[in-house]
Chain A
Amino acid sequence: MSLNDLIRTTGEWLRGDGPMNDVVVSSRIRLARNLADRPFLSTADSSARTEIYRTIVDEVLSGSCNGQSVLIDVEKADSLDRDVLVERHLISRQHSSGEGSRGVVFTPQETLSLMINEEDHLRMQTLRCGLQLRSAWEEVSHVDDTLGEQLSFAFDRQLGFLTACPTNVGTGIRVSVMVHLPALKMTKEIERVARAARDMRLAVRGLYGEGTEAIGDLYQISNQTTLGVAEEDVIEALGDRTIPKIVEYEQLARESLARARPQHLDDRVWRAYGTLCHARRISNDETLALLSPIRMGIHLGRFQEFDGHLLNELFLNSQPAHLQKLHGRALTEEEQCVVRADYLRTRLCAG
């Protein structure tokens, strides 16, 4: 399986199914682990780094959790391929732009990915569409147990799993839920939601994690505390309480917008559709911003020109690396705008 096969599908996180998928796009859980008796990557020289990489890759590929796993040597991959992996949420931006021996192993369904030599020696991540934290946890915890039998992870009785950055020490867990909140943004309530989330020690970030903007009304909500709280408690707090509450607020805001001024709402959706169908050059940010009201329109049953699956395909394939990969060559930013508009017109208005 190659990256060219990969880009024919939208992968797991944009499958568009799963519980509460009108608001929750995807659920993700990652665990940070390091090998005991080895330096962290900030002090590992290149041979130590390579040795860590080999040790983990060998174990991962020989283990039972890997049937037809795909291994990509991120150090050797070209920058376009690395960006494709970032856009599919299989690796982080940091992993893409890092240096030295590093890689990623993932399953063909893209529900599990293991980043080797990112900030920590090993970052295991499970992805699900919709709100499915329990199943994401079961899988990642099982992989952790399996790999932990052979690889000895750095662990301290008091501090738990030892990580390169003290902000991850303990469980090393980050539970992250991607939510689509266009109505709360329109009604200005988003700031109140974000403040409440922050008061609960949750982080609110944009589409690609740390330091990224909230493009297309997509927000990632994740835990920050990893010491003194058990994994199940983090998952329960987010999955059973906080996220369902946010989903409810968003649904109420959508309903009241639709009730109070339906023409206003429909106008937004249809103008967005009009632009996507007729633009001659369009940026990625504008595309994602226009797809946002359409996504809401589909879920409110007010827009039936196409469904959520095509929407997610447009969402992913409009992004720079996917667009260039599908086009078959590297493009300048200006060329991308034109090719993107062509792609959208063909895909939306061909039929």
Chain B
Amino acid sequence: MNANCQRCNKARATVHVTNVLAKGEIRDLHLCEDCAEKEGVIIKQNQQTTNAILQEFIKQKTATGRLDDLACPKCGTTFREFQAKGLLGCPSDYEAFRSILQPLLERAHGGGTHHVGKVPLAADLTVRRQTGLLRLRRELQEALEQENYERAARVRDQIRSLDVQ
């Protein structure tokens, strides 16, 4: 089919659309690519993805200039490098750039600021260990206050064994 576009009547129609109207009636539409895009027939691939939000945000932040010197003490990645690549250098960057990343994360994740999903089993252990340590230290304090040295020694050993794990 070599018909011209039904909208502009200039360019060759390369997009052919079959429309089902309300009463089940069908209408064909032949458009050139430009008009099809204007009509919203062709899906534009340039929708704003989270990556686009990220790039835009970093550009704005860096334009203010105050982030130039910011670097992660662990891996040395600077905020400028993050700007160029869109990728962080190591897990500690999240801590080093926390204050700047916070609003970006909120925007990229639709207002989300705190993780509410799965927690690794290993992290659970750490948390359990930390809570356990807190409890044992309180027990040790109590034992010492009561001058119960036998119990204090037992608790101290328990603390030591948790500490080295």
Which residues of A are in contact with B by a Cβ distance under 8 Å? Answer: 34, 36-43, 119, 141, 144-145, 148-149, 152-162, 164-167, 169-171, 173, 186-188, 190-191, 194, 198, 201, 203-204, 206, 210-211, 213-214, 224-231, 253, 256-257, 259-261, 264
A186 nearest in chain B by CB position: B18
The 7 A-B pairs with the shortest beta carbon distances in the complex, nearest first, are A228-B112, A160-B115, A227-B112, A171-B117, A227-B109, A154-B91, A43-B89
CA–CA, A42 and B105, complex, Å = 20
Query: Is B165 in the interface zone, CB < 8 Å from A?
Result: no
Q: In the bound complex, do residue B50 and residue A224 qualify as a contact, i.e. CB atoms below 8 Å apart?
A: yes
Please report which residues of chain B, range 1-56, place their CB below 8 angstroms from some CB of chain A when the two chains form the complex: 17-20, 24-26, 29, 39-41, 43, 45, 47, 49-51, 54
Q: Is the CB of A204 within 8 A of B101?
A: no
Tell which of B17, B26, B75 touches A43, judged by Cβ atoms closer than 8 Å.
B75
Contact A42 B89 (CB under 8 A): yes
Q: Are A256 and B17 within 8 A (Cβ)?
A: no
Residues of B within 8 A of A164 (CB): 87-88
Report the separation of the CA atoms of residues A316 and B46 in the bound assembly, to the nearest whole angstrom. Answer: 27
Q: Measured between alpha carbons, how far is A260 from B111 in the docked complex, in Å?
A: 45
Q: What's the A-B contact tally at a CB cutoff of 8 Å? A: 164
A152 to chain B, nearest CB (A): 5
Q: Is the CB of A187 within 8 A of B20?
A: yes
Q: Which residue of B lies closest to A147 (CB)?
A: B120
Most buried by B among A42, A171, A201, A253: A42
Query: How long is the Cα–Cα vector from A211 to B120 in the complex, in angstroms?
Result: 32
Q: Is the CB of A214 within 8 A of B43?
A: yes
Residues of A within 8 A of B75 (CB): 39, 43
Q: Are A160 and B20 in contact (CB under 8 A)?
A: no
Q: Point out the residues of chain B lying under 8 angstroms from A145, CB to CB.
A: 121
* Bound: A228/B117 CA distance, A: 8
CB distance from B21 to the nearest CB of A (A): 9
> Do B94 and A169 touch across chains, with their CB atoms under 8 A apart?
yes
Main secondary structure of the interface of B (DSSP, over half): loop
Q: Which residues of B have CB within 8 Å of A231?
A: 117-118
Contact A253 B20 (CB under 8 A): yes
Question: Which residues of A are found within 8 Å of B164, using beta-carbon distances?
Answer: none
Chain A nearest CB from B60 CB (Å) reads 15
Known pairs A42-B87, A227-B113; A155 contacts B19 (CB<8 A): no
CB A64 to nearest CB in B, in angstroms, measures 15
Most buried by B among A154, A155, A257: A155
Residues of A within 8 A of B109 (CB): 170, 225-229
The closest CB in chain B to the CB of A219 belongs to B43
Partner of A228, one of B76, B116, B123: B116
A-B contact pairs, 30 of them (CB 8 A): A39-B75, A40-B89, A40-B90, A43-B89, A149-B122, A154-B91, A156-B91, A158-B113, A158-B114, A159-B94, A166-B54, A166-B88, A169-B94, A171-B118, A173-B117, A187-B19, A188-B17, A188-B19, A191-B43, A194-B43, A201-B110, A213-B45, A214-B43, A227-B105, A227-B109, A227-B113, A227-B115, A228-B110, A228-B113, A229-B117
From A40, A171, A256, give the contact of B88 (CB < 8 A). A40
Contact for A260 among B26, B45, B51, CB less than 8 A: B26
Q: Given that A36-B91, A42-B88 are known contacts, is A141 also in contact with B114, CB under 8 Å in the complex?
A: no
Contacting residue for A204 out of B24, B43, B123, CB 8 A: B43
Chain A residues whose C-beta falls within 8 Å of the C-beta of B54 in the assembled complex: 165-167
The contact of A230 among B85, B88, B116, by CB within 8 Å, is B116
Whose C-beta in chain B lies nearest to the C-beta of A265? B18
- In the assembled complex, the Cα of A164 lies from the Cα of B40 at a distance in Å of 35
How many angstroms from the CA of A186 to the CA of B29 in the assembled complex? Answer: 10
Q: How far is the CA of A102 from the CA of B11 in the complex (A)?
A: 48
Q: Among residues 128 to 165 in chain B, which have CB atoms less than 8 Å away from a CB atom of chain A?
A: none
- Give bound CA distance, A159 to B94, whole Å: 9
In the complex, chain B residues whose CB is within 8 Å of the CB of A226: 109, 112
Considering the chains assembled together, what is the distance between the CA atoms of A261 and B25 in angstroms? 9
Contact B18 A39 (CB under 8 A): no
Across the interface, name the chain A residue whose C-beta is closest to B85: A42
Query: In the complex, A181→B45 CA distance in Å?
Result: 17
Give every chain B residue within 8 A of A229 (Cβ-Cβ): 109, 112, 116-117
Given known contacts A42-B85, A166-B88, A228-B112, A204 and B47 CB-to-CB distance under 8 angstroms = yes
